[in-house]
Structure 1
């Protein structure tokens, strides 16, 4: 399964917006959503989750109070979804088999609204009852428990539990809507990784279970790929504690840093859900699906931010990743074929625009580009002094006070820029241009 596009109409900060997430033939493998807080990135991810969870799952995840931009007309969330190679079900006959599905969920609010001749008086998410494909999707794709048609979403507060795991008799197949729980429940810990790994270890020790061995191998393989160099899975002890090698020392999951725990929680949960969705697969890590991640950069050191997108893509090559981030390092490291959108507010509405070729830029240049709204890489105090330096350099004549101010600024400019820029150099003209753009933005 993969997503070609999503459209929102009268949803939160979006008046009307369509975002392309693939072509008609293939998905964009990695999509970055950039923008300041409050511009709607999480809304897009949550809307995708509701649509991928199915009508019943959406109702379990959220009662959409406050989701309408205008309370006097219904909101619409529309998705274009494609069936993957290993997703079961056939829509149509052999000559006219359909693999692409467009469907809509409507959202109501506190005001009385009518949709498809049915009146609603409270906030609710409801399917388009005129749709011909939703009934088929409900029975073949958007099942509470089903195979294939994989999707999972992770909110910014994903984490492992701080409690030690104990052995459990089994892990139930997850209900579809729970794949997206952490996007709507900040208090929801991702416990599947620890519980699952301990249970597999138990099965292996008791009966030398070959299936459990294979699944444990997949889990360890994926986790080790995502961890920074010098860190890896170590063992599970008799008390059900999972240990890792961290730069030569053994550390249990309870004592790991928040960065490690965030990645382990996401990756471990994803592996377990993939195995449940593709139980007959030779390698579930290679299966297709959609993964939504809000604030991937949270808790991660810049060195890990720089590589995490590439590591996720290598570990789960069949996944379509759609993620929000505030990190230029993640945006730059997501690959030449990644697609990046910038979200920004204008006239009480959110505008979304594509940013090209971000992978080729340095972090400084990404911050100073339209991708991050022309943010200076310097502190406000240093940027103000640089601006003043360039203002003075542009003047044809300086009085004594201005000349003294310019002379005093030279050491800081040399330290900040590496050398004093020549007035005819490209660097000087670029700095002047950026200064003018930043000043225009702040007017």
Structure 2
């Protein structure tokens, strides 16, 4: 289940907005307060209806206050979020200002969620009840608090088994989380150890656990052999000749590694029947994808995520010009991919078609596309701020030069 379009009516600072979402990556840029996170929250609320209908999990919905657009100290009669998938499935979620007849008369007819429920009944729930194969859609929302990893201190209260629908537990809450992925990894390692003992071979591994290991190594080539150790309980990786606790790593490592472990564990838990669970269809939202990342990592984080999760649809926000220029490199690689080249750095770049990418400059009341129709590249509006900084420096340098010449 991938999304094609997001439509907002009277949601927070957005009286009306329709946003086309790209197949692989939608990039949202804008100043603080422009509403980038609002758009991610809207997608999460729209997808929350999916989780609310599925067994054993619950989704998020509108807040009690603050979600209905206000103008001149007057709340709009309603707010509505509409989602459309690539397959043409559409539904909306509505919140009224109040339950009066007058307010009801001011609300345009909507779609509701009937079509969504029918789709979920047919493709997921009935198949699950009948013991038939099915693919579970994966959703995940990572907010700026993801840097604060929820690391368990003991094994007390750990569940002994897992159900597939657990892959969507707290999937759309942007708060910090890591504990559920940690517990799943711990239990799967124990299951793997039992199989190795039964078959008397350390070569026996669990495919879903291997998927998480591959994801970690793909994004962190300098890390290897991720596993959980006891006394004290900790998630450990090897870096060169050192064994490091996850909590010992830098903020940049923790922020991205926690995301990768959580997302890969969700795909493996949701669809363990796939040869490569990392290929699960997923909608992934990341607020400030550059959070705590060194510029060198910012250059490659998007390409690494897209490569590691090849069927995931990413919707991300950023302030970073490094992210934008790196994305332009991926787009340019698509344009020259058939030309002869010998530069290993260029060859290593993942090509991205402009048809698979959308980028928007977000403002309080609107969003405008940053993709230039002729070049197929991003018009980097962030660079003007850097040019202004450089211009100020040049002016001071000219004053200094003139003073010395005088």
TM-score by length of 2: 0.75
Partner of 2:76: 72
Q: 1:357 to 1:237 in 2, by over 3 A?
A: farther
Determine if the alignment matches structure 1 residue 160 to structure 2 residue 179. no
Per-residue deviation, 1:275: 1.9
Partner of 2:336: none
Q: 1:142 to 1:234 in 2, by over 3 A?
A: closer
Per-residue deviation, 1:117: 6.8
Higher mean Cα deviation, 158-167 or 300-309? 158-167
Q: 1:357 to 1:100 in 2, by over 3 A?
A: closer
RCO higher in structure (CA 8 A, sep ≥6): 2
Measure the CA separation in 1 of the matches of 2:105 and 2:143. Answer: 36
Measure the CA separation in 2 of the matches of 1:300 and 1:42. Answer: 19
Aligned to 2:170, the other structure's residue is in SS state helix
Q: Where do 1:30-429 residues align within 5 Å?
A: 30-54=25-49, 57=52, 60-70=60-70, 71-82=75-86, 99-109=87-97, 128=110, 132-140=114-122, 147-158=135-146, 159-164=148-153, 166=155, 168=158, 169-172=160-163, 173-174=165-166, 176=168, 178-181=170-173, 183=174, 186=175, 188-208=176-196, 213-227=206-220, 229-239=221-231, 240-334=233-327, 335-336=330-331, 337=353, 338-345=357-364, 349-356=365-372, 371-372=381-382, 374-377=384-387, 379=389, 383-387=391-395, 407-408=402-403
Q: How many residues align?
A: 352
Measure the CA separation in 2 of the matches of 1:293 and 1:359. Answer: 27
Q: 1:409 to 1:107 in 2, by over 3 A?
A: farther
Q: 1:370 to 1:303 in 2, by over 3 A?
A: closer
Q: 1:408 to 1:249 in 2, by over 3 A?
A: farther
Q: Which has the larger radius of gyration?
A: 1
Measure the CA separation in 2 of the matches of 1:341 and 1:407. Answer: 43
CA-to-aligned-CA distance 1:41-99 (integer Å, 9 cap, x gap): 111111111111216738645424111223132112111113xxxxxxxxxxxxxxxx4
* Runs of 5+ consecutive residues of structure 1 not aligned to the other structure: 83-98, 120-126, 391-403, 411-443
Measure the CA separation in 2 of the matches of 1:320 and 1:102. Answer: 17
* Runs of 5+ consecutive residues of structure 2 not aligned to the other structure: 53-57, 129-133, 332-352
Instruction: Tell me the C-alpha RMSD between the 2 structures.
Output: 3.5
Q: 1:205 to 1:389 in 2, by over 3 A?
A: closer
**Does structure 1 retain, via aligned residues, the 8 Å contact 2:40–2:285?**
yes
TM-score by length of 1: 0.69
**Does structure 2 retain, via aligned residues, the 8 Å contact 1:9–1:17?**
yes
Per-residue deviation, 1:386: 2.5
Measure the CA separation in 2 of the matches of 1:375 and 1:113. Answer: 50
**Does structure 1 retain, via aligned residues, the 8 Å contact 2:138–2:281?**
yes
Measure the CA separation in 2 of the matches of 1:216 and 1:371. Answer: 42
Q: 1:220 to 1:294 in 2, by over 3 A?
A: same
Per-residue deviation, 1:193: 2.8
Measure the CA separation in 1 of the matches of 2:302 and 2:102. Answer: 44
Q: 1:387 to 1:51 in 2, by over 3 A?
A: same
Per-residue deviation, 1:278: 1.6
Partner of 2:20: 20
Per-residue deviation, 1:131: 5.6
Per-residue deviation, 1:198: 1.7
**Does structure 2 retain, via aligned residues, the 8 Å contact 1:342–1:372?**
no
**Does structure 1 retain, via aligned residues, the 8 Å contact 2:149–2:177?**
yes
Measure the CA separation in 1 of the matches of 2:124 and 2:397. Answer: 60
Per-residue deviation, 1:15: 1.9
